Amino acid sequence: MKTNKIKVLILLCLPLSLFAIQPNSINAETTKKNIYIEKSLANNVAQSIVSEVGETSRFRVDRGVAQVAALWRKEDGTSEEFKAFCKTGFVADETKLDTLFGKLQRNLEIISGYYHKIDLQLKEPVQLTGAEITPLDELFGGYDISSHMDEDLFANKIAFVTALNFPYYSLDEKTKQGKLWTRKQWAYARMGDRFTTRIPSEILQHLSQVLATADAYISGYNICMGNLQNAGNEKLFPKDMKLISHWGLRDELKSDYSDKKRGKEKQEMIYSVMKRIIDQSIPADAINNDKVNWNPVTNILYQDGKQVPSKPEDNKRYEMLLGNFKANKEMDPYTPQLPTALVRNFEGNMEIPQQDIETLFKGFLVSPEVKRVATLIQKKLGRKLRPYDIWYNGFKAKPDISEAELNMITSKKYPNPKAVEADLPEILKKLGWSADRAAKITSLVKVDPARGSGHATGATMRNDYSHLRTRIAPNGMDYKGYNIAVHEFGHNTEQTITMNDVDYWMLSGVPNTAFTEAVAFLFQKRDLELLGFKNTNAHADNNLALDDFWSCYEIMGVALLDIATWEWMYAHPNATAPELKEAVISKSKEIWNTYYAGVMGGKDEPILAIYSHMIDSPLYLSNYPIGYLISFQVEGQMKGKSMADEMQRMYTQGRIIPQLWMNNSVGGNISTEPLLQAVRKALE
């Protein structure tokens, strides 16, 4: 699952180089219109300030004045007013600069924290279980109360004070210099990242509305499994089973490996449902509707035993995706140094270049270990592989107990959100935290009943709550929900530690989302252990490596599809939803044929396109495979040590750049090699 961050706030904090990268040509005209202060004037102002404060301040002066000049607009004041502002606003004295930093940090935390609390509460009617969602709920859920924040901070000159005194450093500069920086210097650098763009509030507000609409669409996308029937009119799933796409469908497919009697038939049926969702031939009346029965193979609806007419969903899925693209593209002219959503995501948010990500994934997908592991899976299954076997989970340590029995255990243990919340300290104690630390961390975690599959939302100011929003049925939490909740609690634990225990608020959090996914994976793979089932398998380490490897194999292809889809949309900005649908399906087949068909069998399979993240979380999917790799390397570092102590050591580094974080934590960069080495050992 994903963490539900304040997406717009993340976009506001994008680090954009004002010096090293030239504006992309598609945005050059808009960029030129926005420039009010000429470079020659800025140079003269900078030289004048250096003459007064001395050469030791030249770097900060030159860069700070250039940053302000790039952001200054006509409405901010005349050239003379720009000059006066820079001369009076620059702080040369180190003690006074430290005081300025402290005040900015304190007040930005207050603003961010309370905006976040308001946003969470406004979204409760659309994200939590309760009364039916009304159009007004959707309007408030899509309202971004913080969309005017930066506009106001530029208008009152706070943003300019920050940009003038705290230089922005490019990713290359952070990489080369960051290992020598003190914690305070890192905090200063993150303050320098804060105000580097001026995106109009109406664009941010539109993006917020579009994301909220997509989130509501996905949160309500349920399949009533008890209403699915086969050619013999048989129902294979429990009457009251309702699964969200894609998470619930995927997890049910995984659990069906343990059903030796009809498991494969169930999996084939789920696979048919997934393909109907992807190509949008799914009947609209089959979505979240238990009044009709549906045969997903023939695509026929029945009511009272009789066939009834139906209409397909008809591209709504791709309309949502297209809306996300257009809303993100509106920001392009205002971020000329990172001119597309792709560049903003990888160079800006993840701070790992897209090319590096793709090279890492493609190298892994063609590694010789893939076919060897696939052969092992085929042997264990006793049949040829099917496309949905990308979700094979037979390497996981499992007790000799059915999922139905696990459901009984979890539903009894967790009948409601209060029961989940009450057990959180015990979960942390089982994972190695002391009673006092477990109580302190979980005192800042609230559990809410989610409409959708669930997500974790961290606080943005210290001593505020993070929220674990998880799906709990009226008869209690089933095992699938429990497994997801443990994953989300991993996020909450990270969020609480990195918000409250990191020394500077400007460094709170993690380098990018993959690092919180890594913690969530560490928790999730211990879910059965937390229920009291001890793993006595002598080959546990080997199985862990094989399981992580196969998970990476699956999700790396999905992430490549996510990237390819956005590249296609940028190449075809005027595409229609039907055209986008055909492109996504075509790209998914192309990636399948390149990296999967020779291993899994089949040609032109579209299954990689089922992931809901593509629809409601733009370009999120690369965080998962990176998260798996980080998780595996961190797990190796923790072996024989206290998980609690190692997490505290690693994660209190906060939001420095990814590769420096990894080197400080595990002694090397993010890499596939440790996992590949472990898999080779396991295969032996």
Residue 18 scores a pLDDT above 60: no
Same structural domain for residues 470 and 557? no
Structural domain contains residue 666: yes
pLDDT in tens, 77-116: 999 999 999 999 999 999 999 999 999 999 999 999 999 9
pLDDT band at 613 (very low <50, low <70, confident <90, very high): very high
Q: How far apart (Å, rounded) are the C-alpha atoms in residues 134 and 417? A: 24
Average pLDDT over residues 446-451: 91
Q: Are residues 391 and 412 in the same domain?
A: no
Q: Give CA–CA dist 48/44, Å, rounded.
A: 6
**Distinct helix (H) and strand (E) counts, the chain:** 32, 8
Mapping DSSP to helix (H, G, I), strand (E, B) and coil, where does residue 324 land?
A: helix
Note whether 298 and 361 are same-domain residues: no
Of the pLDDT bands very low, low, confident and very high (cuts 50, 70, 90), residue 454 is: confident
Mean pLDDT for the stretch of residues 55-66: 96
Q: Which residue has the higher pLDDT, 21 or 379?
A: 379
Q: Which residue has the tokens 């420096």?
A: 660
* Same-domain check for residues 350 and 469: no
Q: How far is residue 56 CA from its own chain's centroid?
A: 42
What is the structure's pLDDT at 451?
A: 85
351, 171 contact by CB (below 8 A): yes
- How much of the chain is in helix, strand and coil states, percent to nearest 5? 65, 5, 30
Confidence grade of residue 146 (pLDDT, cut at 50, 70, 90): confident
In this structure, what token pair is assigned to residue 130?
């309760």
Residues 42 and 175 in one domain: yes
- 222-224 and 454-457 beta bridge pairing: unpaired
473 class by beta-carbon count within 10 Å (0-12 exposed, 13-18 middle, 19+ buried): middle
CB 468, CB 446: distance < 8 Å? yes
Q: Quickly state the pLDDT bin for 33 (edges 50, 70, 90).
A: low
Question: pLDDT class for 13, splitting at 50, 70, 90?
Answer: very low
Q: Comparing 1-5, 283-287, 393-397, 458-462, which segment has the lowest mean pLDDT?
A: 1-5
Backbone phi, then psi, for 442, in 5-degree steps? -75, -15
What single string gives the DSSP state of each residue in 112-126? HHHHHHHHHHHHHHH
Note the pLDDT tens digit of each residue in 267-302.
Answer: 999 999 999 999 999 999 999 999 999 999 999 999
pLDDT class for 126, splitting at 50, 70, 90?
A: confident
Share of the chain above pLDDT 70, in %: 94
Taking residues 22-40, report their average pLDDT: 60
Domain that holds residue 13: 7-196
- Considering the domain architecture, whether residues 593 and 664 belong to the same structural domain is answered as yes
What's the pLDDT tens digit per position in 533-563? 887 666 778 998 999 999 999 999 999 999 9
167 has pLDDT over 70: yes
Q: What's the confidence (pLDDT) of residue 5?
A: 42
Q: What is the mean pLDDT of residues 387-415?
A: 89
Higher pLDDT among residues 224 and 32, named by residue: 224
Structure tokens at 149: 């924040």
Q: What is the mean pLDDT of residues 634-644?
A: 92
Q: Average pLDDT for residues 230-246, to the nearest whole number?
A: 94
Q: Is residue 569, in this structure, part of any structural domain at all?
A: yes
pLDDT at 201 over 50: yes
- Same domain for 449 and 465? yes
* Domain contains 73: yes
Task: Provide the percentage of residues in the chain whose pLDDT is more than 90.
Answer: 82
> Model confidence at 34, in pLDDT bands (50, 70, 90)?
low
Residue 478 inside a domain? The answer is yes
Q: Domain check: are 430 and 376 in the same one?
A: no
Average pLDDT for residues 604-610, to the nearest whole number? 97
pLDDT of 20 > 80? The answer is no
Question: Taking residues 59-68, what's their average pLDDT?
Answer: 96
- Answer yes or no: is pLDDT of 305 > 70: yes
Place of tokens 């009943």: 449
Confidence of residue 10 (pLDDT cuts 50, 70, 90): very low
Q: Residue 527 falls within a domain, yes or no?
A: no
Stretch 454-477: mean pLDDT: 92
Q: 503-514 pLDDT, tens per residue? A: 999 999 999 999
Token pair 């509106």: residue:
330
Q: Which of 254, 383, 374 is nearest to 683 (CA)?
A: 374
In a domain, 327, yes or no: no
Q: Of 166, 196, 226, which residue is a domain's last? A: 196
Q: Across the chain, what does the average pLDDT equal? A: 92
Beta strands in 450-561 (DSSP E): 454-457, 466-470
Q: How far apart are CA 643 and CA 638, in angstroms?
A: 6
Q: Does a structural domain hold residue 530? A: no
Q: Are residues 639 and 657 in the same domain?
A: yes
Q: Which of 579, 583, 31 has its CA nearest to residue 331? A: 31
Instruction: Tell whether the model's pLDDT for residue 500 goes beyond 50.
Output: yes
* Distances 485 to 127, 478, 660 between C-alpha atoms, Å: 15, 10, 30
Residue 283 backbone phi and psi in degrees, to 5: -65, 135
- Does 21 share its domain with 43? yes
pLDDT of residue 9 exceeding 50: no
- In the chain, the N- to C-terminal Cα span, in Å, equals 33
Residue type (1 letter), 431 = L
Q: What are phi and psi of 641, to 5 degrees?
A: -120, 175
Residue 32 has pLDDT above 60, yes or no: no
Average pLDDT over residues 361-371: 98
Quick one: pLDDT at residue 402? 83
Q: What is the pLDDT of residue 144?
A: 85
Asked, for residue 205, whether it belongs to a domain, the answer is no
Q: Measured in whole angstroms, how far is the alpha carbon of residue 232 from the centre of its chain?
A: 42
Could you tell me if 279 and 581 are in contact, meaning their C-beta atoms sit under 8 angstroms apart? yes
pLDDT at 72: 95
The answer, yes or no, to whether residue 52 has pLDDT greater than 80, is yes
Lowest-pLDDT choice from 122-131, 255-264, 669-678: 122-131
Could you tell me the pLDDT band of residue 27, with boundaries at 50, 70 and 90?
very low
Range list of H helices, 220-305: 247-255, 263-279
- 390 and 410 housed in the same domain: no
Average pLDDT over residues 319-339: 94
Assess contact for 398 and 528: CB atoms under 8 A. Answer: yes
Of 462, 490, 507, the residue that ends a domain is 507
24 plus 129 within the same structural domain: yes
Three-state DSSP at 131 gives coil
CA–CA gap between residue 428 and residue 506 (Å, rounded): 27
Using CA atoms, how far apart are residues 458 and 509, in angstroms rounded to an integer? 9
Per-residue pLDDT, 536: 65
Q: Give the pLDDT band (50/70/90) at residue 16.
A: very low
Give pLDDT tens digits for 560-597.
Answer: 999 999 999 999 999 999 999 999 999 999 999 999 99
Number of domains in the chain: 4
What pLDDT band is residue 3 in, cutting at 50, 70 and 90? low
